[in-house]
């Protein structure tokens, strides 16, 4: 039996109603969450546990900062890791033809376009008169559906992006729209840039990749405080979070484990 191509896989996902289910659950969960937040905003509590539903409603204060980018880059040079974590700033790279000489082969992600046949009309749920508990129950229900279908969707996308026919033609149409290969922002050969143009060029054009920086923090090469000294807090925002208590506990244990590992490695 001939293997289905990316367009056919996406068409089946639509035909089975999975795309509509995912979008409807996403919009309904978001609508319930907004109303739950309005109720929480009208009170004074920043955290509310609902043990019978295994849910916590809470606000998380997040800082908004500016970064002394050159200062941070120079510090990471002194530590000896900047070329290992640096990536060229896309805004600075725009229009710089010199950098084109050092561009690595482009990587791709999967793009999805939906036409009129695939458009999903979703009614906003009526929340009038609903108390907190039933609102949370409804949010949990639709959030679970969205999460489950989204996980299947992500697995499907991995199948589609590995489709040989899609790699060849770049775009495949189907009844409900199309799937296509979308170029990711360019990456560059840092070592070649340093060798040919000098380290100062990379310092001025680059910035550290957050994930790579976190690895060196975890290894104990640097600390989070070393990075934070180059940040200036200019504002704060309050994020509203709904999560189950078990997930919150697991997340806190994971973060604590990371902090302990980083501290132990730094002390060596």
Mean pLDDT over residues 251-266, rounded? Answer: 82
Which tokens belong to 173? 């149409």
CA distance 84 to 182: 26
228 with 66: CB under 8 angstroms? no
pLDDT higher than 80, residue 268: no
pLDDT digits (tens, 9 = 90+) for 46-95: 999 999 999 999 999 999 999 999 999 999 999 999 999 999 998 888 88
Which tokens belong to 213? 């920086």
Phi-psi region of 183 (alpha: psi -120 to 50; beta: other; left: phi over 0): beta
pLDDT higher than 70, residue 193: yes
DSSP 45: -
CA distance 60 to 92: 33
CA distance 96 to 15: 45
pLDDT higher than 70, residue 1: no
Q: Which residues pair with 179 in a beta bridge?
A: 112, 172
CA distance 73 to 230: 10
pLDDT higher than 90, residue 262: no
31 with 125: CB under 8 angstroms? yes
Mean pLDDT over residues 114-127, rounded? Answer: 90
Cβ-based neighbour number of residue 96 at 10 Å? 10
Domain ranges of the chain: 6-267
pLDDT higher than 70, residue 267: no
CA distance 86 to 78: 14
Task: pLDDT band for 149, please (50, 70, 90 cuts).
Answer: very high
pLDDT higher than 90, residue 136: yes
Q: What is the mean pLDDT of the chain?
A: 93
Q: Which sign does the torsion angle of CA 199, 200, 205, 208 carry?
A: positive
Mean pLDDT over residues 109-114, rounded? Answer: 96
Task: pLDDT band for 126, please (50, 70, 90 cuts).
Answer: confident
76 with 82: CB under 8 angstroms? yes
Mean pLDDT over residues 182-198, rounded? Answer: 94
């Amino acid at each position: 039996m001939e293997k289905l191509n990316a367009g056919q896989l996406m068409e089946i996902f639509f035909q089975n109603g999975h795309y509509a289910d995912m979008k409807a659950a996403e919009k309904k969960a978001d609508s319930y969450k907004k109303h739950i937040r309005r109720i929480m905003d009208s009170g004074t509590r920043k955290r509310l546990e609902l043990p019978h539903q295994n849910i916590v409603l809470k606000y998380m204060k997040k800082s908004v900062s500016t970064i002394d980018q050159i200062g941070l880059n120079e510090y990471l040079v002194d530590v000896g890791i900047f070329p290992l974590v640096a990536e060229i700033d896309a805004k600075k790279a725009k229009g710089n033809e010199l950098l084109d000489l050092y561009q690595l082969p482009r990587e791709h992600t999967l793009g999805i376009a939906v036409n009129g046949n695939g458009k999903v009309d979703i009614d906003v749920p009526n929340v009038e008169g609903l108390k907190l508990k039933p609102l949370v129950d409804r949010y949990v229900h639709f959030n679970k559906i969205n999460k489950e279908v989204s996980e299947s969707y992500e697995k499907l996308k991995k199948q589609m992006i590995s489709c040989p026919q899609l790699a060849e033609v770049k775009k495949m149409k189907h009844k409900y729209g199309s799937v296509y290969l979308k170029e990711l922002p360019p990456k560059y050969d840092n070592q070649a840039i340093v060798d040919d143009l000098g380290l100062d060029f990379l310092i001025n054009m680059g910035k550290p990749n957050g994930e790579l920086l976190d690895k060196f923090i975890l290894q104990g090469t640097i600390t989070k405080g070393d990075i934070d000294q180059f940040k200036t807090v200019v504002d704060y925002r309050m994020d509203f979070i709904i999560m189950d208590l078990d997930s919150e506990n697991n997340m806190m244990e994971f973060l604590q484990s990371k902090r302990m590992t980083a501290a132990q490695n730094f002390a060596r």
